[in-house]
Amino acid sequence: MKSEPSRNYSELTEFILLGFRTSPEVQVFLFLLFLLIYLVIVLGNISMLIVIKIDYRLHTPMYFFLRNLSYLDLCYSTVIAPKTLATFLSKEKKISYNGCVTQFFFFALFVGTEGFLLAVMAYDRFSAICSPFLYTVRMSQQACVRLVLGSYICGCINSMIQTGFTFSLRFCQENRLDHFFCDVPALIKISCVDTFVNQIVLFVLSAVIIITTTTVILVSYGYILSTVLKIPSTQGRSKTFSTCSSHITVVSLFYGTVFFMYAQPGAISSPEKSKIIAVFYTLIIPMLNPLIYSLRNREVKNALKRILLTKMPFY
C-alpha cells in the first residue's frame, strides 16, 4: 500500500519524460532514427489514403476499412512521435499535465479503435469468402460506415475509462515518467496512492478488448479456412487466401505487442521492456502496415502503377 499524498494531485502542472537515458550522441542518433521512421509512416499512410481515394477500383468495403486503418496509424503515431522527437533535443524534456492527459486520451482512443477495426476487417473477409452472394447486402455502404463508427465509439469508451481512472490518481511530488510518452504503466508507477484498482481496470479492459476482438478474428478465419479447404484447385485456394494474408500479418503484429504491453501485470514493473515494446507498436507497426498492404496486395500495387503512369508525362 502506497503512502498518502503530501499534496493534492491537481497541483502538479507538468511531467518530465525521462525517455531513453543515453549519451547526447546516442540521443542525436535516436532523433534521426525516429524522424526517419515517422517520415516513412507519414509518406506510407498518406500514400495509401490517396491511392484508395483516387482509384475507383478500390472503392470497395475492404479498402474502405483499409483507408480507415491507415488514418488511425497516421493519427496515433502523430500523437506520440512529434513530442518524442522534441524531447530528444531538449534538456528539460517536459510535458504539461494537460498535454499529458490529451496525449494519453487520443493515443488510447486511436489504438483501441484500431483493435476493433481489425476485427471488423476480419468479419469483412469472412463475409466476402464464406458468403459471397450476400456480401453486397452485409457490407453495404451504410453497414460499413456503422461498423467503423462502432469501432470509434468502442475505442472512445475505452479511452474515457482509462483516462478517467488514470488521472484520478495522485502524483504528489513525483513527476518523472520513466517513458517517452504518457502511458498508463508509467503513470501508475509514479502515483503516491494505492493503484491496485487501476491495475485491475487496465488488465480487465485490455483483456475484454483483446478477447472480444480476437474471438471475432479467430472465428472469422476459422470459417474462412474451412471454406478455402473446400476449393478443389490449389491455385484457387492460394488466390482466395492471399486476400487475407496481409490482414493476418497486421493482426499478429498488433495484438502480439499490445498483449505483452497491457494484458500482463509484469509489464508495469519493467520500464525498459515497456519502452522497447512501445516503440514497436507506436512507430514500427504504423510504418510496416502500408508496406505490408502495398507489397503483398496486387490490387494496391496495380492501382499505384496506374496512378503513376497517369501522372507521368509522355514525350
Question: How does pLDDT run across 49-64, given as a tens digit for each residue?
Answer: 999 999 888 899 999 9
Q: Which residues contact 216 (CB under 8 A, 6 or more apart)?
A: 119, 122, 123
Determine the average pLDDT of the residues in 90-95.
87
Q: Residue 6 above 60 pLDDT?
A: no
What pLDDT band is residue 308 in, cutting at 50, 70 and 90? confident
What pLDDT band is residue 86 in, cutting at 50, 70 and 90? very high
Backbone angles phi, psi at 15, to 5 degrees: -120, 155
Instruction: Please tell me the pTM assigned to this model.
Output: 0.89
User: How high is the pLDDT of residue 230?
Assistant: 86
- 291: nearest Cα among 238, 249, 240: 249
17 forms beta bridges with: 177
User: How high is the pLDDT of residue 302?
Assistant: 79
Place of cell 450476400: 134
User: What is the residue-averaged pLDDT of the chain?
Assistant: 87
User: How high is the pLDDT of residue 234?
Assistant: 79
Q: Residue 11 above 70 pLDDT?
A: no
User: What CA–CA distance (Å, rounded) separates 303 from 294?
Assistant: 10
More confident residue, 301 or 244: 244
User: How high is the pLDDT of residue 269?
Assistant: 54
User: How high is the pLDDT of residue 279?
Assistant: 92
Superfamily per CATH, domain 21-293: Rhodopsin 7-helix transmembrane proteins (1.20.1070.10)
What pLDDT band is residue 263 in, cutting at 50, 70 and 90? low
Determine the average pLDDT of the residues in 12-17.
90
More confident residue, 8 or 257: 257
User: What CA–CA distance (Å, rounded) separates 267 from 303?
Assistant: 42
Q: Which residues contact 267 (CB under 8 A, 6 or more apart)?
A: 185, 260, 261, 273, 274, 277
DSSP 91-126: SS-EEEHHHHHHHHHHHHHHHHHHHHHHHHHHHHHH
User: How high is the pLDDT of residue 102?
Assistant: 97
More confident residue, 268 or 255: 255
